[in-house]
Amino acid sequence: MSADKNEGSEELLDGDPGVPRQGVVDSDEIVMGLVQALYPRKPYCLVEAWTIFKVDVSEDELNKIHAAGQLPLVLFAHNVRFDSQRRFDVGDWMRSTFATSFEEGFLFETRNTVYVLCGPGHEKSASLNSVLSFF
């Protein structure tokens, strides 16, 4: 692992979990019905033990991210509870691409997937290099 990757790892895992946040606490069945109604035909994934990284970017990088229809937010979850397309096994970890929307405090949408944030999690700032190099 390169020194840059080690630095990114240290930034993300420095012992500071970030600001506590609360995801949805309803049953999986209720949440799945809601997601299917709000995002018909879009794959979805229920995750827990999650962190939203608010990516620190320059104004130029932010303009590029916004021009692509995205937000400087990336999701990491330690535990996948359910994936509608079975891309992840139950218990796998995951990292998303940049968000396209973040609704209701628990619906984290990317171009390809809606991630449902279940239970407690965190929000934390990190550099773009750290977020992209760590996973």
Q: pLDDT tens, 41-98?
A: 999 999 999 999 999 999 999 999 999 999 999 999 999 999 999 999 999 999 999 9
Region 92-114 average pLDDT: 96
Beta carbons of 55 and 72 less than 8 angstroms apart: yes
Whole-structure pTM value? 0.88
Per-residue model confidence (pLDDT) at position 5: 41
Q: For residue 84, count CB atoms less than 10 angstroms from its CB and return exposed for 0-12, middle for 13-18, buried for 19 or more.
A: middle
Q: Which residue has the higher pLDDT, 89 or 4?
A: 89
Token representation of residue 5: 């990757």
- What would the two tokens of residue 66 be? 């916004």
Between β-strands 114-117 and 120-127, what pairing exists: parallel, antiparallel or unpaired? unpaired
Residue 17 has pLDDT above 80, yes or no: no
The angle formed by the CA atoms of residues 102, 73 and 3, to the nearest 5 degrees, is 160
